[in-house]
Amino acid sequence: MRVLTGIQPSGILHIGNYFGSIRQMLNYQGDNELFVFIANYHALTSLKDAKSLKENTIDAAISFLSLGIDPNKTTFWVQSDVKEVLELYWILSSYTPMGLLERAHSYKDKVAKGIVANHGLFSYPVLMAADILLYDSQIVPVGKDQIQHVEITRDIAVKFNNDNGNVLKIPTFKTDDKVATVPGIDGAKMSKSYKNTINIFTTQKELKKQTGKIITDSTPLEEPKSYENCNVYKLCELFMQEDELMELQIRYRSGKEGYGHFKASLKDAIWNYFSDARDKRAYYTEHKDEVRDILSDGAKKAKKIASRKMEIIRDKIGII
């Protein structure tokens, strides 16, 4: 199966991103043909600072390579390195009813939040459709917020195929129902917009600070505590093995330790969990040329498929 997904280069990655989407994506690596790109054209709809966009793009590449993307198994590139996507975006625009985009939740939510609407923001799903359809993608793993965009992609593809024959592959989205929402340090959904994150790549000192701020109840140190609804325990569940969790439950019930101790255990677990990724990140940060080579190889592979597909599409619609 060809599995494709795009990543917004949005700066800091937190553990909600990891358990909510990155891990799911990496599960496809090896058994499937995985295509992953950094959606820098999409990022342009919200980020207008050239220096930050350049830095975030490379930074995202480094982070994802460090967290497990293997360029020998996965085609990994930067969206803007394959310009065919923009041509398809324009072509698909003529098959996209206005109403389809006007109903998009993501667009409506952003406008409701006061973000000034521009055409890029409005037509964002058409570019996403081009990303998906250009590569004959069959499966698109996404977070719940992106499901509608894949549905829009399907609608556009069906409309195109009705007029031009069976040219575009109709993709399906995949979300991981097993993944619960990862709570932030205040117990609400972890999100960079709520400023309640625990970040993947951070210093030990900062990690201590972030885990130290997790909100708990005020049961005194010497009293037994319940782990069931504790934010610290919930996060420990993501990082610890079954036997470690059993041990932790005993510590909660014993009434000999306070939340500070449990937070320290969580901090150690997170630190160890990402130890390999941190080493790789340090390596790639020192070897950015290697990162650029990986992206450029990926772009070459992606472009080959894209240009072949565009020849077929142009011919079908009469672009000479």
User: 125 contacts which partner out of ligand TRP, ligand ADP, none, CB within 5 to 8 A by kind?
Assistant: none
Type of residue at 276: D
User: 132 contacts which partner out of ligand TRP, ligand ADP, none, CB within 5 to 8 A by kind?
Assistant: ligand TRP
Cα–Cα distances (Å) from 174 to 139, 151, 205, 254, 265, in that order, read: 7, 11, 37, 42, 34
Do 153 and 171 meet the contact criterion of CB atoms below 8 Å apart? yes
Q: Which of 157, 70, 74, 134 is nearest to 305 (CA)?
A: 134
Q: Which of 191, 245, 252 is nearest to 216 (CA)?
A: 252
The structure tokens 């570019």 sit at 127
Binding footprint of ligand TRP on the chain (CB under 6 A) = 4-6, 8, 39, 42, 128, 131-132, 140, 142, 146
Q: What is the Cα–Cα distance from 158 to 169, expressed in whole angstroms?
A: 9
Nearer to ligand TRP, 37 or 227 (CB): 37
Residue from 72, 193, 218, 241 in contact with ligand ADP (CB under 6 A): 193
CA atoms within 13 A on the CB side of 296: 6
User: 39 contacts which partner out of ligand ADP, ligand TRP, none, CB within 5 to 8 A by kind?
Assistant: ligand TRP
DSSP code at position 21:
I
DSSP code at position 195:
T
Q: Does 214 bind ligand ADP (CB under 6 A)?
A: no
User: 193 contacts which partner out of ligand ADP, ligand TRP, none, CB within 5 to 8 A by kind?
Assistant: ligand ADP
Report the nearest approach of ligand ADP to the CB of residue 47 (Å).
13
Report the nearest approach of ligand ADP to the CB of residue 292 (Å).
24
Part in contact with ligand ADP (CB under 6 A); list of ranges 14-22, 81-89, 104-112, 269-277: 14-22
Q: What are 47's two structure tokens? A: 């980020």
User: 203 contacts which partner out of ligand ADP, ligand TRP, none, CB within 5 to 8 A by kind?
Assistant: none
Q: What is the Cα–Cα distance from 169 to 161, expressed in whole angstroms?
A: 9
Q: Does 106 bind ligand ADP (CB under 6 A)?
A: no
Task: Name beta bridge partners: 29.
Answer: 32
User: 10 contacts which partner out of ligand ADP, ligand TRP, none, CB within 5 to 8 A by kind?
Assistant: ligand ADP
Q: Does 189 bind ligand ADP (CB under 6 A)?
A: yes
Binding residues for ligand ADP (CB under 6 A): 10, 16-17, 20-21, 143, 179, 181-182, 189-193
